[in-house]
Structure formats: structure tokens, C-alpha cells
């Protein structure tokens, strides 16, 4: 009886301490790394109730993309300056055609766009952060998606530490870019 109680207590603690996550990835590394690419990271569309979640995750993703060896990232301020006075709402790009059009307008050959589907604290025994991100890397000339990634993760440390939304988002973006880059990081 005592062994059974210890076993089930340990099993519960192990299960509770491991974060829940889901991921789905498509990548064509040979095409991504065939040449140096000029890249614009558009603000991700915020599909959550959390204010500015799309912008927050876009900034984190941009920081991670600076580590990719063959990427020359367009600075956000230059991007917004170039788009000033345009009809398109840069914060609402969810389709390939709009992303391709903005890429041409910006003069880059590659655009990153997507959405943030979750950015909140989930109530339970504790409040655990949950982050969901969908991103695509689009070749502007061909309209071809070179990388698509969708990930959701529930953070949380069981009793011993605290986790934040930002930390979970940083982990997700870091892992996404690592998988996409496939070893060509600076």
C-alpha cells in the first residue's frame, strides 16, 4: 500500500511538472539557406484578448531570427517608415497574397508573418502561462512558403519556480528558429 502511494505521488508530480506542448513544422532548409535573404518580420496578428500579444511575440521572434546566418533582417522602424501612408494594415496580415504584396512594397525577398493564438495565464492549481504561435516564412518572388510552424506550450514550474508568458514565448520562438535554421546559426 505504501509503495503504491509513493509511486502514484511520484507519477503525479512528474506529470504535473512537465509542461504540455504541441508543435507542427514544415521547413525547406535547402531553399531557405541557398542564399542570403533580406527578411521583414511583420507584426503577428493578435488573435488573443491580451493587448499587443502579436507585437510582443514579433519582437521576440525578430530577436531570435538575428541569429540565422543567411538572414539580413529589416529593422522594424525602417519597415514602419516604408509602409507609412499605405492602405494595408500591417498588423492584420494573415494570408499569403497580402504578405507577398507587403514584401514587394518593402523591397525584401522574404517575409515572416502569422498569428498569436494564445497568450494568457491558464487557471488551475496555479496560473500557468500558455502561448500559441503560428508563423510562415514566405519567398516574395515565388509566393512559396519555405517554413511554416505552429506551436503551443503551457509553461509552469511545479511549486519550485514561477514562469512567465514572455519566457514561454521566448522558448517557443527560440526552438522554432533553431528547427528552421538547422544549424546555420551565428
Sign of CA pseudo-dihedral 68, 71, 72, 77: negative
| Interatomic CA distance for residues 27 and 29, integer angstroms | 6
CATH topology of domain 19-181: Rossmann fold (3.40.50)
Domain locations along the chain: 19-181
pLDDT tens digits along 2-27: 666 555 454 444 444 445 666 777 88
pLDDT tens digits along 98-139: 999 999 999 999 999 999 999 999 887 678 899 999 999 999
What pTM was estimated for this model as a whole?
0.82
| Interatomic CA distance for residues 26 and 100, integer angstroms | 19
Q: At what angle do helices 96-106 and 76-83 cross, to 10 degrees?
A: 100
Amino acid at each position: 500500500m505504501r509503495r503504491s502511494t509513493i509511486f502514484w505521488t511520484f507519477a503525479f508530480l512528474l506529470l504535473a511538472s512537465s509542461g504540455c506542448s504541441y508543435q507542427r513544422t514544415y521547413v525547406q532548409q535547402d531553399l531557405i539557406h541557398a542564399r542570403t535573404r533580406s527578411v521583414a518580420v511583420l507584426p503577428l496578428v493578435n488573435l488573443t484578448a491580451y493587448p499587443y500579444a502579436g507585437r510582443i511575440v514579433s519582437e521576440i521572434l525578430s530577436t531570435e531570427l538575428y541569429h540565422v546566418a543567411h538572414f539580413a533582417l529589416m529593422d522594424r522602424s525602417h519597415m514602419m517608415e516604408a509602409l507609412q501612408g499605405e492602405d494595408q494594415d500591417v498588423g492584420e496580415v494573415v494570408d499569403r497574397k497580402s504578405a507577398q504584396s507587403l514584401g514587394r512594397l518593402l523591397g525584401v525577398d522574404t517575409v515572416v508573418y502569422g498569428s498569436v493564438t494564445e497568450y494568457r495565464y491558464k487557471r488551475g492549481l496555479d496560473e500557468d502561462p500558455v502561448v500559441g504561435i503560428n508563423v510562415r516564412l514566405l519567398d516574395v518572388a515565388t509566393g512559396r512558403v519555405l517554413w511554416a510552424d505552429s506551436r503551443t506550450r503551457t509553461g509552469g514550474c511545479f511549486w519550485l519556480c514561477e514562469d512567465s508568458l514572455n519566457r514561454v514565448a521566448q522558448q517557443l520562438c527560440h526552438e522554432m528558429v533553431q528547427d528552421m535554421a538547422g544549424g546555420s546559426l551565428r
